[in-house]
Structure 1
Amino acid sequence: MEKLKSLLKYQRQIIEGFFVSVLGGWAFTSLLKGSYTKINNINYVAQDKFAITIMLIMVFSGVFAFTYYKFSNVARIMMFMFIYVFFMMSACNGYSYNWNETAKNPIGNICFDAVLCFIAVLAFLYVKDDIFDIVAEFKIDKKKTNIIVAIVGILLFAFVGIITVYRYLTYSNSTFDFGIFTQMYENMKQTGSISTTLERNRVLSHFGVHFSPIFYIALPIYFIFPSPVTVQLIQAFMVALPVIPIVLISRKYKLSNWMTVGAVLLYALYPATAGGTLYDIHENCFLTFLILMAIWAIEKKKNILTAIMVLLVFFVKEDAPVYIMVLGTFYLFSRKDKKRGLILMVTSAIYFIIATSVVKSYGLGIMDNRFSNLFYDQQKGLSQLIRTVLVNPGYVISQIVANYDANGMEKIGYILLMFVPMAAVIFRNGKKYSRFILISPVIVINLLTLYVYQHDITFQYNFGSIALMMYLVIMNMADLKPKKAKVAISVAVICAGVMFMGSMAPRLNYYTSKYSQDKATYEKINIALSAVPKNASVCASGFFTPHLKNLEMYDQNHLEETKYTDYLVIDERYTDEKSKFDTVLSSGQYDLIYNESGIISIYRKK
């Protein structure tokens, strides 16, 4: 009886030890056996040697039980870590499955990742005190924080750089849009002009499509290293650089060193951060760094630096002033700085009018047709948006969840990817409702449109929103009590890690493997393209234009009229590609000068 009473005295520890041991043993066994690779295969259960699985679970549960007996906190942390790693690996493998076919859910992978996030957070909340106790033992000063942040920034640069460079090496990017920018930078180098022939099938300044003088800021780098690889690395550098203003703003708000590291990790792992680079360089990649630097300058009352940074934001694109206008609106309504808020709002409005006028004078005007679902008259453009909002607000709200077609669920997937990683922090702002103004670009720019690419994290339209959301994250963390702030940022980083593994990490292996598996083909194409003189006019297949430096070049797939250029470069890897050149070839004006059957053929005008 005495022994029973003694056991009952420790019943909580016994029950906890049992569950910690079994869960830890199960998670470690699952990792050891690689069951995370079978998440979509029910037949794996029948094929598995169940007796061995049970034995392994029992053995490892025993190890966990012994660890728990000696060091209960270590056992709890180990249990969480193995579960979290299993979930990370499961998310990574889930990326490759056809969820639409197997689960009848086109965003099944994103939903799967969200469920993994939820369970991982529950596991973390159970062991958070143990983790915080251990972390507290490792105090980091300002110098160590800077080193950790630098490492995170370098890793982010490397991750984005490797993926985007291998996209180029594997001929995975095409005219739209990478070929446009490689031709543009080559033209800038040779003539100083920002013109292309690829963008609209004629010599046209890029200012006729987007007013983006910011591209000139990177031109000196391209002068030294004139290669499309350089263009991709410029983007990778600009995506990694925001870790600097994130640290500066965090210190302005007196976040602890660990909280600062947490904010940087959240930015680096946030799926839309690396995701925005997956269709190659765009002017938007400059936005995150410049907006965050502008915010820091405003917070520090550095007026000259503020003016410079705001102007540079404006130079990114004709619609970039929207982000500064949102920032100004926040300062006005939050009563942080009414004067600066009004100045930012007015200057943004003025510049927006000027920039859109420049685009119209150079070309066909801004692409306001992307919001045509909000136009009651398709001829009047953006000017009617205010009337639409005031007269029919219910319809406007409905467009937030309206998809391009009946089978689409892209907006739900986008909302999950954008908000699940940050939800624990951005919605913890007490009664400071004005801060939600900083989320408005996600709603207005990304969700109100039916233009599918603007609510897709693998395109470039999220960089400005990311900057404002990170600002919101830092302010909210600063307002929370230290323990609650630690929990909030930890949950955010945990969710971001799962989402990153489920949406971004697999792409690294995809592109590097693609290159190694078909390297011989790419080398043959490289040799073939070197036969095309750089001063010749060229019509080429879309996947070849980024690799040619010709200033007069056209994508045969997008020509509206027949052009008889000096050279034709045909991608024969695709069966229907050569037929697009039939009209030109049937003229009898061209001789075949190079051919790799099933890969590439080059014709020269007689």
Structure 2
Amino acid sequence: MRVKTTYSVWGLILSYSVLLSIIAVNRHYTFRTNAYDLGIFMQAIWSTANGFRVLYNTIEEYQVCVTTHLGVHFSPILLVLVPIYKVFPHAETLLIIQTFVIALSAYPLFLLSKKVLHSERLSLAIVVLYLMNSLLHGINGYDFHATPFALPFIFMTALYFERGEYRKALVSSFFVLLVKEDAGLSILSLSMFYLLRNSKLFSLQTYKSLFEKILTNKLHPSEKTALIMGVLATSWVLISWRVIIPHIAGVHITSAVYYARFPCVEYIPMKILYFIVANLTLGLLTFLRPKYTFLLTFAPWLEILLSCEKNLFRIGFQYPYMILPLSLISVIYTIRELQSNNLKKVFAVSVLVGILFSILTTPILPLDNEIKKDLLVPPHYYQPITHHDRLLLDIIKVVDSTNFSVLTQNDIFPHLANRISTYVIWSSYCGNTLPKTDIILLDNTLLYSVYNYRIKDHLRAYTKVYENDGIEVWIRNDVLETSQATELVRKLQSLERNGKGF
């Protein structure tokens, strides 16, 4: 039985990896990946791998006046990817690595569940609930980010803690912190859970007793480890937000702008729906032991629900990267508490409910319903590559073969991100004027062509040298007569004559 269950888990991991990798790469080749955020990470990692400034990208330089991604989000774990990207400098590299990391996180989840519940069947069901979860599909589906790298380490931290391997738990928790400045909230939550799960939360005696143990050095190793984790996590969050990021950026760049309009009452119904649906995707098991769920998820839920940035409470984005694993940890310990109370029926129904609501709300399936409309779930599902897509890909190859600087749209940028002189057309800039690049590449059929009005005056200094099926290539007038520009025009005309892309 043990071998069969383990094989089943690895089969699920492999199936998820293949399916979601195909979907992720398909999004890229159908021009649904973005400068925000795949392009940022591609250019930042490429610039580091090729000897430019560390994690430099033109997007954040022109939009927030910061010359390294570390001055926007403190994610040093990205540096681990530099040697890999140096050898395989492709969008697919990042998208597939991200998918495999997410898929592999199911294994420490399985081990944790098996350790706590002593049941491989229940643990397998937990893995299914996780890999089928629509929040996870959203984390995986929207471009590339550093945050999914926290998932396996959050589960590993809990696993090592449960095993009593406290040094390993501390090491694992440190890797969680390397993911992003707010990742410390997940470690703080785990710390609070392991310190207080068996205590009365609202009893003064609980905290008095804990304080006395600290003073008399009578803490159990688990309590000592939890305290260290809590202090480390809190320090990381505060120092990252208040010291490291402002120092690197040279200006105070934080996500506080997301909270500037609080309470943003127009989003309250959407936030309530998001909270309910997120818990429904876990079969409402999170509500069976409110104390556990409160300790483990209060902080990350607070970060999301107080925000006025609606992408934080939409299924289809990376933001629930702490809520989902912490909620599942809560579910595992809840099931252990309820094993004597008709568990099998409750758990079976809950798993079915969770899977049903995940199917209804996942961004990787083309299902339309009112919940997805109300939560503005984006379409991350597989779409056939069209003749138009192929034509644009061919044009991009021609443009990329030159040394020209390029200004282009959000949804084209990732295809030209492996160069230091590609810039994005956006709704606003931080004081830097629009760069006068050698080339402007537009596609008026794509979603982010809505921002092309920003360059209307800019185009006066350019000549349109190619137009086909809504795609336009413009060359700056003072470089139009150069040999490289002439060769570019010749290649573009050759595409049209040869019917490439059609």
One-letter code aligned to 1:565: T
2:452 is the counterpart of 1:566: no
- In the alignment, which residue of structure 2 is the partner of 1:190? 50
Note the C-alpha offset of 1:298.
1.7
- In the alignment, which residue of structure 2 is the partner of 1:261? 124
Q: Could you tell me how far apart the structure 1 residues matched to 2:260 and 2:450 are?
A: 33
Deviations 1:559-587 (A, max 9, x none): 53232112211223267665433322213
Within a 5 Å distance, the mapping from 1:197-346 to structure 2 comes to 197-201=58-62, 204-335=67-198, 337-346=222-231
Distance 1:427 1:576, change over 3 A: closer
2:272 is the counterpart of 1:412: yes
Q: Could you tell me how far apart the structure 2 residues matched to 1:196 and 1:229 are?
A: 19
CA RMSD of aligned residues (A): 2.5
Distance 1:304 1:257, change over 3 A: same
- In the alignment, which residue of structure 1 is the partner of 2:239? 354
The SS at the match of 1:568 is strand
- In the alignment, which residue of structure 1 is the partner of 2:217? none
Distance 1:559 1:416, change over 3 A: closer
- In the alignment, which residue of structure 2 is the partner of 1:148? 8
Distance 1:487 1:158, change over 3 A: farther
Gaps of 5+ in 1: 1-140, 375-398
Q: Could you tell me how far apart the structure 2 residues matched to 1:370 and 1:538 are?
A: 31
2:226 is the counterpart of 1:366: no
One-letter code aligned to 2:247: S
Aligned length in residues: 432
Does the aligned pair in 2 maintain the 1:334–1:435 contact within 8 Å?
no
* Further displaced range: 273-282 or 476-485: 476-485
2:455 is the counterpart of 1:581: yes
Distance 1:246 1:576, change over 3 A: closer
- In the alignment, which residue of structure 2 is the partner of 1:111? none
- In the alignment, which residue of structure 2 is the partner of 1:474? 332
Note the C-alpha offset of 1:366.
1.7
Q: Could you tell me how far apart the structure 2 residues matched to 1:570 and 1:495 are?
A: 45
Deviations 1:448-486 (A, max 9, x none): 222211112211110111111111111112222267332
One-letter code aligned to 2:248: Y
Match among 162, 167, 185 for residue 22 of structure 2: 162
The SS at the match of 2:142 is coil
- In the alignment, which residue of structure 2 is the partner of 1:550? 419
Q: Could you tell me how far apart the structure 2 residues matched to 1:204 and 1:352 are?
A: 22
Note the C-alpha offset of 1:492.
2.4
One-letter code aligned to 1:331: Y
Q: Could you tell me how far apart the structure 2 residues matched to 1:228 and 1:316 are?
A: 20
Q: Could you tell me how far apart the structure 1 residues matched to 2:350 and 2:155 are?
A: 20
Q: Does 1 or 2 have the higher relative contact order (CA < 8 Å, sep 6+)?
A: 2
Distance 1:521 1:450, change over 3 A: same
Q: Could you tell me how far apart the structure 2 residues matched to 1:323 and 1:424 are?
A: 21
Distance 1:564 1:373, change over 3 A: closer
The SS at the match of 2:407 is strand
Note the C-alpha offset of 1:248.
1.3
Identity of aligned residues (%): 24
The SS at the match of 2:419 is coil
Does the aligned pair in 2 maintain the 1:284–1:316 contact within 8 Å?
yes
One-letter code aligned to 2:227: L
**Larger gyration radius, structure 1 or structure 2:** 1
Distance 1:569 1:435, change over 3 A: closer
Distance 1:485 1:404, change over 3 A: same
The SS at the match of 2:441 is strand
Distance 1:231 1:195, change over 3 A: same
Q: Could you tell me how far apart the structure 1 residues matched to 2:340 and 2:363 are?
A: 31
Match among 301, 304, 319 for residue 446 of structure 1: 304
Distance 1:142 1:505, change over 3 A: farther
One-letter code aligned to 1:241: L
Q: Could you tell me how far apart the structure 2 residues matched to 1:232 and 1:306 are?
A: 28
Note the C-alpha offset of 1:331.
1.7
Q: Could you tell me how far apart the structure 2 residues matched to 1:577 and 1:372 are?
A: 25
Match among 386, 404, 410 for residue 536 of structure 1: 404
Note the C-alpha offset of 1:183.
1.4
Q: Could you tell me how far apart the structure 1 residues matched to 2:154 and 2:195 are?
A: 17
TM-score when normalising by structure 2: 0.80
Q: Could you tell me how far apart the structure 1 residues matched to 2:119 and 2:451 are?
A: 58
One-letter code aligned to 1:200: E
2:317 is the counterpart of 1:459: yes
Note the C-alpha offset of 1:497.
1.8
Match among 35, 41, 44 for residue 175 of structure 1: 35
- In the alignment, which residue of structure 2 is the partner of 1:128? none
Gaps of 5+ in 2: 199-219, 368-378, 480-502
Deviations 1:268-314 (A, max 9, x none): 12221112233211121112211111111222222332222111111
* Further displaced range: 531-540 or 574-583: 574-583
Q: Could you tell me how far apart the structure 1 residues matched to 2:136 and 2:272 are?
A: 19
Distance 1:473 1:566, change over 3 A: same
- In the alignment, which residue of structure 2 is the partner of 1:507? 365
- In the alignment, which residue of structure 2 is the partner of 1:126? none
Deviations 1:9-31 (A, max 9, x none): xxxxxxxxxxxxxxxxxxxxxxx
